[in-house]
Amino acid sequence: MERLTRRKFLQISGTTFAGAGLLVGGTKMIQSTLSANEKNKGVVKIPSYCSICFWKCGLIGYVKDGKLWKLEGNPIDPLSRGRLCPRGNGGVGQHYDPDRLQAPLVRISNRGGEEWKVTTWDEALNYTSQKLVEIKDKYGPQAIAVFSHGPGGAFLKHTLRAFGIKNFSAPSFAQCRGPREVAFELTYGEIIGSPERTDIKNSKCFALIGSHIGENMHNSQVQEFAEAIEKGATIIVVDPRFSIAASKAKYYLPIKPGTDTALLLAWINVLIQEKLYDRDFVDKYTFGFEQLKEYIEPFTPEWAFVETGIEPNLIRETIRELARYKPASFVHPGRHVNWYGNDVQRIRAITIINALLGNWNRKGAFFKPVKMEIPKYPYPPYPEMDYEVVYNPNSKYPFAGEEEGLTQGIRSATITGEPYPIKAWIVYGTNLIQTLPNQKETIEAINKLDFLLVIDVIPSEIAMWADVVLPETVYLERYDELNISSFRVPFVGIRQPVVAPPHDQRDGWWIARELAIKLGLEKFYPWKHIEEYLRYRIESAGLSYEQLKTDGIIIGEEQPIYVDDGLNLEFPYTNTGKIELYSTQLAAKGFSPFPTYERPPEPPPGYFRLLFGRTPVHTFSMTQSNPILMDMVAENEVWINSDVAETLEIKNGDYIVLKNQDGVVSNKVKARVTQRIRPDCVYMYHGFGHTSRRLRRAYLKGASDAQLITRYDIDPIMGGTGMNNNFVTIEKV
């Protein structure tokens, strides 16, 4: 039986519409809208949606006398619920950032040197198209690879697909949530998606495993977390570090890093041995329970204690607590889950616990996300390309992303030339130097390229390696693709300019369209201005474009999202039509059909495992030049256990350097001496320690975890890069 994936299903169910929509006034429109606002002496409120991170909260931008003044959450938006997070509020700083890229740049020095010629858009795009055509003619379209992050990349990808390119990738898959989506798709036939379908606000009990809600600042999720605390939900936090979330928990399990799957297997063991699972649900909706029962027998809490350091009685007590509140209880699927290179198997264990709790599409656990149906624009079909994607030769990773691709796979092919050469990278909105593990390999790959194009808003490290840098407007200054996220209610949100760009920056859609024209692909842009495109889609769905522009969001009719509301429980996208405790797809590809545990390597004597995560006021390495956010958190610190610090004679606030197992030494960084972390690991916020001199405010502030992550382990199931197997020593400066 052919597996009908959720992705395929979405393609099939997407309606295609013929005919032209109602068109509006072309490229002048953005200018006239903004000049009207700028002339207005008073306060003008313009709705849009945030892009400081990918949660896409609806916002209201306040413009006073033509100047951006402040941002607020859009009260009708389900993702912001009228409030922005600290980063979202600080979005104003992105517009005013004096270090922003201001005009197109063309390199005049060797790569690695930072000498540039400021040029015109015409010249930069002519040069770019000429290089891309040269490479395509010589090596074929397969020699061009694209790395993209965020909704702004949609139009660029459209242009490049029309050009014959198939090698697309996004770090959000292979460096972030890929294993989670693959594991859920294998078990339930559906992914978790973003924003997550977790019903935190109605939950009576939930477990967070290495999930730092509160530091991981996803707006509505954090608001729901606060609601759950207020309602007295039982929270279980499993983390080597006593996080903000741990401080709100009833149970804190300071697990030995890398042993989470052992704990999860023991939880499954107790659920089954003590018959705490939902028997009716398991009988009716799951596949492979009897085999699971047999498989799980050896994984007792006593066995897990040896691995995890968590007392058997605490293992029993916590899973009993989760079972007590089923189905309004769940184990959170996490978000950044590429840890040790066997991450699909770990998340599979999470999916199985949730299945045993019978909580799929149940209130207080996982709701069924719903989505506004907005027809696609009727573009001509892309050219058929029969070459194999470069990042997954012979389907080496059988469950690699179909659309998101494998960033590391592209890099590796660029270095080796296998299975075929990659000669150009096009990088949109992602700082690969700080995102990919092993910076040396990234630079080695860049040095093999004939051409590197970067489109960004700031002079990030990857921009400083580019041959051409194109400065994009920031999200408050541009139109973008619609926000049609799946969530609790169907909705559509618009991104539109709140304020004019200060220099010669251009919108991503404009760059993509102009590039297409230079590449002879004009037929793929029947519209001249993005507003024609947006209006077409909105009006094809029977909605008012004017209303969308005025309100920022249109909410559709409520639909049932819980079984409790009459939703049917069906699993049409797995091979068996059931929740697969036993994964038939993994078994068919030679993997264990049940989650496996591999003991992680121990840090050598004198070394500590390097863990990393998020500060609530920055996003990755994208926001450190934002003056408002840097006022709040200007540099990162390294959390060191108090006893360890005492032995090393390090005091709180001392500057230290970290040196990893391969001899890479970090920039100096402050020590945060605390009892809130285990003695076998250290922890730091990701995204600091910038080395681009043009990021004047962020230059060499704090240390870069990415620099120290030279070792990575690839998940054999989906090709993600586990990055938590690096060890460091600590030296006082």
Query: Is 664 among the residues that bind ligand SF4 (CB under 6 A)?
Result: no
Q: Of the two residues 56 and 529, which places its CB atom closer to ligand SF4 in the complex?
A: 56
| CA pair distance 140, 124, nearest whole angstrom | 22
Q: If you write DSSP's letter for every residue of 46-68 in order, what string do you get?
A: EEEE--SSTT--EEEEEEETTEE
Query: Is 92 among the residues that bind ligand SF4 (CB under 6 A)?
Result: no
| CA pair distance 442, 427, nearest whole angstrom | 13
Q: Of the two residues 82 and 577, which places its CB atom closer to ligand SF4 in the complex?
A: 82
Output the six-digit token pair for 445: 């790959």
Min CB(56)–ligand SF4 separation in Å: 6
Only one of the segments 45-53, 140-148, 268-276, 385-393 lies at the binding site for ligand SF4 (rule: CB under 6 A); that segment is 45-53
Q: Of the two residues 88 and 722, which places its CB atom closer to ligand SF4 in the complex?
A: 88
- In eight-state DSSP terms, residue 133 is H
Query: Is 55 among the residues that bind ligand SF4 (CB under 6 A)?
Result: yes
Binding-site member from 88, 327, 459, 593 for ligand SF4 (CB under 6 A): 88
Q: Of the two residues 256 and 614, which places its CB atom closer to ligand SF4 in the complex?
A: 614
Residue with structure tokens 């600290």? 86
| CA pair distance 406, 390, nearest whole angstrom | 9
Min CB(53)–ligand SF4 separation in Å: 3
Query: Is 85 among the residues that bind ligand SF4 (CB under 6 A)?
Result: yes
The residue among 623, 726, 641, 733 whose CA lies nearest residue 679 is 641
Q: Of the two residues 217 and 695, which places its CB atom closer to ligand SF4 in the complex?
A: 217
Min CB(476)–ligand SF4 separation in Å: 11
Query: How many residues sit close enough to ligand SF4 to count as binding (CB under 6 A)?
Result: 13
How many other CB atoms sit within 10 Å of the CB of residue 231? 11
Residue with structure tokens 């036993």? 582
Only one of the segments 12-20, 83-91, 542-550, 586-594 lies at the binding site for ligand SF4 (rule: CB under 6 A); that segment is 83-91
Query: Is 579 among the residues that bind ligand SF4 (CB under 6 A)?
Result: no
Min CB(627)–ligand SF4 separation in Å: 16
Binding-site member from 44, 57, 176, 669 for ligand SF4 (CB under 6 A): 57
User: How many Å separate Cα 247 from the centre of its chain?
Assistant: 25
| CA pair distance 393, 669, nearest whole angstrom | 41
- Report the residue number whose CB is nearest to ligand SF4: 88
Min CB(222)–ligand SF4 separation in Å: 8
Query: Is 213 among the residues that bind ligand SF4 (CB under 6 A)?
Result: no
Span 318-347, contacts to ligand SF4 by CB under 6 A: none
Only one of the segments 213-221, 279-287, 417-425, 607-615 lies at the binding site for ligand SF4 (rule: CB under 6 A); that segment is 213-221
Q: Is there a contact between 258 and 340 (Cβ–Cβ < 8 Å)?
A: yes
Q: Is there a contact between 340 and 255 (Cβ–Cβ < 8 Å)?
A: no
Min CB(50)–ligand SF4 separation in Å: 3
Min CB(93)–ligand SF4 separation in Å: 12
Query: Is 87 among the residues that bind ligand SF4 (CB under 6 A)?
Result: yes
The three-class DSSP label of residue 724 is: coil
Binding-site member from 149, 157, 166, 218 for ligand SF4 (CB under 6 A): 218
Min CB(91)–ligand SF4 separation in Å: 7
Q: Of the two residues 87 and 161, which places its CB atom closer to ligand SF4 in the complex?
A: 87
Q: If you write DSSP's letter for every residue of 650-686 in order, what string do you get?
A: --TT-EEEEEETTS-BPPPEEEEEESSB-TTEEEEES
| CA pair distance 508, 475, nearest whole angstrom | 10
Q: Of the two residues 91 and 327, which places its CB atom closer to ligand SF4 in the complex?
A: 91
Output the six-digit token pair for 175: 């460096």
Is there a cis peptide before residue 327, judged by omega within 30 degrees of 0?
A: yes
Query: Is 712 among the residues that bind ligand SF4 (CB under 6 A)?
Result: no
Catalogue the long-range contacts made by 561-569 (C-beta closer than 8 Å, 24 or more residues apart).
561/361, 561/367, 561/368, 561/369, 561/370, 561/488, 562/199, 562/361, 562/362, 562/363, 562/367, 562/368, 563/361, 563/362, 564/362, 564/363, 567/361, 567/368, 569/285, 569/360, 569/361
Q: Is there a contact between 478 and 498 (Cβ–Cβ < 8 Å)?
A: no
Query: Is 56 among the residues that bind ligand SF4 (CB under 6 A)?
Result: yes
Min CB(203)–ligand SF4 separation in Å: 20
Only one of the segments 214-222, 351-359, 369-377, 665-673 lies at the binding site for ligand SF4 (rule: CB under 6 A); that segment is 214-222
Query: Is 50 among the residues that bind ligand SF4 (CB under 6 A)?
Result: yes
Binding-site member from 219, 359, 540, 667 for ligand SF4 (CB under 6 A): 219
Only one of the segments 211-219, 505-513, 526-534, 648-656 lies at the binding site for ligand SF4 (rule: CB under 6 A); that segment is 211-219
Output the six-digit token pair for 25: 């006034």
Contact residues: ligand SF4, CB under 6 A: 50, 52-53, 55-57, 84-85, 87-88, 217-219
